[in-house]
Amino acid sequence: MVTRRRTLVRVVIVLLLVGGVTTDCAWFGRMRQSPRQHWWEFWKPRRPQSDLFYPPLEDIDVTPPPPVAPISEVGPSTIPIEPAATAPPEAPLGVPETMPARIEPRGMVNELQTVYFDFDRYDLKPAARSTLEGNAEFLLVNPEIRVLIEGHCDDRGTVEYNLHLGQRRADAVREFLISKGVPAHQLETISFGEERPIDAGHNETAWAKNRRAQFQIY
């Protein structure tokens, strides 16, 4: 009986020794196959591959993107593009589309008398006022007539000064006729300064004739 127990104990010991050797061999085999460099890392728990920050190289797509076709090779777009509206050409600034035609005056008439001025003056003398009253009556009877009042000067003074003085003389005549009831749209003014003398002389008689305001009708 005692011998049988000893035999059983020996068998158990042998089995334990054989099992321990097998386990140690497997452990050392795993140590050799492990990619880790330090033996204490063997006891660390393995992290799943999905927890790594960078994916494994075999999962990275390294296929280069397809080349971009040039613009000339791209087909027409399927989106309809409306043509841009073309604006009409603009007329130059300050120039009307149709220039008004200037009507030439037909000339002077006996019913519209010329008035005269003193030297370097544009105020109306009593004789000039009397003459303009007769001119106003004629214009009121003939409302269809349009009148151009011309201001003239003698040749003394500069050209610029005489043009300015001639304009003042024409404006003075126009304002007087309007005060007598002649419609303003019938009356236009212009200054010729010393450019159109009646008498080409260089004396007081010639100068007195040239300091005037005369009328042209349309």
Number of domains in the chain: 1
Using a cut of 0.75, tell me whether the model's pTM lies above it. no
Task: Please report whether residue 121 resides in a domain.
Answer: yes
**Residue 7 has what pLDDT?**
73
Provide the angle, in degrees to the nearest 10, between the axes of the packed helices 126-141 and 159-179.
60
Residue 24 phi/psi, 5-degree rounding, is -65, -40
Q: Is the pLDDT of residue 188 over 60?
A: yes
Task: Please report whether residue 9 resides in a domain.
Answer: no
Domain that holds residue 121: 115-217
User: Do the Cβ atoms of 119 and 207 come closer than 8 Å?
Assistant: yes
**Residue 100 has what pLDDT?**
40
**Residue 204 has what pLDDT?**
92
The more confident residue out of 38 and 153 is: 153
The dihedral built from the CA positions of residue 159, 161, 165 and 167, taken in this order, carries a sign that is positive
Q: Across the chain, what does the average pLDDT equal?
A: 75
Q: Is the pLDDT of residue 159 over 80?
A: yes
Task: Please report whether residue 60 resides in a domain.
Answer: no
β-pairing, 147-152 with 187-193?
Answer: parallel
Q: Is the pLDDT of residue 28 over 80?
A: no
Give the CATH number, domain containing residue 205.
3.30.1330.60
Amino acid at 115: V
> Using one digit for the tens of pLDDT, what is the confidence trace for 70-88?
655 545 555 555 555 565 5
Task: Please report whether residue 99 resides in a domain.
Answer: no
Q: Single out the residue of 194, 196, 177, 181 nearest to residue 113, CA to CA.
A: 177
Mean pLDDT, residues 165-173 taken together? 96
Task: Please report whether residue 74 resides in a domain.
Answer: no
> Using one digit for the tens of pLDDT, what is the confidence trace for 88-136?
555 554 444 444 444 455 566 678 999 999 999 999 999 999 999 999 9
Residue 213 phi/psi, 5-degree rounding, is -135, 120
**Residue 189 has what pLDDT?**
95
Residue 80 phi/psi, 5-degree rounding, is -70, 135
**Residue 15 has what pLDDT?**
72
Task: Please report whether residue 177 resides in a domain.
Answer: yes
Q: Is the pLDDT of residue 38 over 60?
A: no
> Using one digit for the tens of pLDDT, what is the confidence trace for 48-57?
554 445 555 5
The more confident residue out of 175 and 4 is: 175
User: Do the Cβ atoms of 216 and 145 come closer than 8 Å?
Assistant: no
Report how far residue 175's alpha carbon sits from residue 25's, in angstroms, rounded to the nearest whole number: 134
> Using one digit for the tens of pLDDT, what is the confidence trace for 144-156?
999 999 999 999 9
Task: Please report whether residue 71 resides in a domain.
Answer: no
Task: Please report whether residue 197 resides in a domain.
Answer: yes
